[in-house]
Structure 1
Amino acid sequence: MSSSETIPSTSSTSNVIDSHLHVWASPQEASKFPYFPGQEPNLPGNVDFLLQCMEEAGVDGALIVQPISHKFDHSYVTSVLKKYPTKFIGCRLANPADDGSGLKQFEHLVLKDGYRAVRFNPYLWPSGEKMTNEIGKTIFKRAGELNVAVGFMCMRGLDLHISEIEQLCTEFPSTLVLLDHLAFCKPPLNDKEDFVFSKLLNLARFPQVYVKFSALFRVSRTQLPYLDLSPLLSQLVSSFGANRVMWGSDFPFVVPECGYKGAKEAVQLIANQIPLPSSDLEWIMGKTAAQLFHSQLTVAKHE
């Protein structure tokens, strides 16, 4: 994609907010912010690199999702949130330990450190346990009470986890839900995949559910600008409304795939192909996240 192919920026007044990215300590910072053994990153993902990418791409704020490279040690992300309080908000990683320590850590990070979301990674649950077990329900319910959104990472397929998500949404309708990366649904190639994508669209019946149109390189079957995702975005907007869909880059994993700026521009090209009204694109590129987290990220760019 050449620069001449890009369409104009979504708006001169609305913030562009990245709903899904990660940061981790640089190797030089690892003595202070150690990596979890066996999860050492092989890409640069420190906040200075992120800020450089965001400035180049014209992105104003972001939701930082705790990376597996630091696992349940949130000290690096917390330090970034404290240093840049008007630019970033945090999503912590749920610790499903059955001794209750995960709930205490969750409450501390929300009440003391200002985290506004929590990520449920089902593959961190004990073997044989589901996200609907006692600790899962407790954290999910508490998230609703604290007005904290719960993100779901369905990396091995939405069909494996849809029943758990539906059960939690039904039992706790006040808890906001984020589905990371289109719930890992690729453009359907057969009846089974089409059925799973229809189940994703059917989650729109729960008013609390939002979808991240994020990590496009993970879900597209083509190269940048990932235009095979146009029908999926069109159906997402038809089912959920643009005000329940939000763009996310999946930095820094996106950088070697298409570049951070390329990830942002791809959404505009995909939307242009549908075509999507500019007002819908504004919601996807920032207004949805700003409204959802109704926090400091709603500050206008040119204030």
Structure 2
Amino acid sequence: MRPTWRIGGPIVVDAHAHVWSGDTTTFPPTPIDGVSAPKTPRPVDDLLGRLDTAHVDRVVLIQPRSYGHDHTYLAHVLASEPERVAGVCLVDPLRPDAPGELRRRCREDGYRGLRLVGLGHGDADWLFDDRTAPMWKAAEDLEIVVSLLIEPHQLAGVATVAARRPWLSIAIDHLGRCQPGTTAIADLLALAVRPNVSVKVSALSWLSAQGPPHADLRPMVESCLAEFGAGRLLWGTDYPHVLAAGPYPDPFEELAGVLPQASEAELAMIAGGNAARLYGLL
């Protein structure tokens, strides 16, 4: 039997997904960060059909690095699905005009978030120092969510920015890419003292060395719930990459596997309530 929150209850949101078109003439790939051009089309209609099957109401779409800074396709999607989709853009934070570009994307195209990438960039000191301070300020002024795709050794830098920008919402992608059974989780949990930092319980199939219900991730996710609270965790799939491990997951079943003791009220927040509030998808 489905839990009561799934039957006419609170909203369910996939807080982390990507889409790209099979029409490479209109929407040509322009990869960055060493990412390859996709071999299989994953258009938005495919994702929306999977959302319907899984009873997921809304989705936060992250600009894929396979399109780099060309947002043509995601802008097209946002224009066609404004009530169901929120967009997160990519802007190179080291460009002199980066704050202005971010403001234009948010004000003209309706983006509700920014993604910054430290993954594959060594210590990525630039991400947290004066070189990118104008970008962080612009994001705070725009009241958008900054998602961070970073590696565990870069987590300590987040605390500095979170303290400097207490009104800025920061979301750590994919549990900070912390592997189960490692000490890296301590750096992620240390961020819980910053009330403006949230954590995405996403990409579980990639993080786990096991198949569903990802029992090896349970201690780590339970620790995040204990430290951050249910109000600062967001469920996401990392679609379409999640399909490498199986079908698009049922949100309740996936969360129940890593948070078996969570209450229905807590699951409702993690499965969609928090993302709906942060990204304006209510």
Query: Aligned residue for 2:155?
Result: 162
1:187 maps to 180
**Number of matched residues?**
278
2:62–2:115 Cα contact (<8 Å) kept: yes
1:240 equivalenced with 2:228 (yes/no): yes
The equivalent residue for 1:91 is: 88
Match of 1:116 in 2: 112
The correspondence for 2:170, drawn from 177, 185, 197, is 177
The 3-state SS of whatever aligns with 2:239 is coil
Match of 1:251, SS state, is coil
Per-residue CA deviation, residues 172-208 of structure 1 (Å, 9 max, x unaligned), is: 22111000000001211xxxx22x2112111010010
Change (3 A) 1:280 1:264: closer
Give the superposition deviation at 1:128. Answer: 7.0
Cα offset, 1:263, TM superposition: 6.2
Matched, 1:40 2:37: yes
Please give the alpha-carbon distance, in whole angstroms, between the structure 2 residues aligned to 1:262 and 1:15.
Answer: 14
Identity %: 29
- TM superposition score normalised by structure 2: 0.92
Matched residue of 2:235: which SS? strand
Unmatched tracts of structure 2, length 5 or more? none
Residue of 143, 149, 167 corresponding to 2:145: 149
CA contact (8 A) 2:54 2:251 kept: no
Helix, strand or coil at the partner of 2:106: helix
Say whether 1:251 aligns with 2:248: no
The aligned amino acid for 2:166 is P
| CA pair 115-135 structure 1, distance change in 2 beyond 3 A | farther
1:210-289 → structure 2 map (5 Å cutoff): 210-262=198-250, 265-271=253-259, 273=260, 275-289=261-275
Give the counterpart letter for 1:226 in structure 2: H
TM-score of the superposition, structure 1-length normalised?
0.85
SS at match of 1:54: helix
CA distance in 1, matches of 2:175, 2:122: 25
C-alpha distance 79-286 of structure 1, shift in aligned 2 (>3 A): same
CA shift at 1:171, angstroms? Answer: 1.6
1:197 lines up with 2:194 in the alignment: no
- Cα displacement (A) at 1:102: 2.5
Q: Quick check: 1:130–1:164 contact (8 Å CA) kept in 2?
A: no
Shifted more, 258-267 versus 162-171: the winner is 258-267
SS of the residue corresponding to residue 217 of structure 1 reads helix
Structure 1 runs (4+) greater than 6 angstroms displaced:
124-128
Distance in 1 (CA, whole Å) between partners of 2:4 and 2:76 is: 31
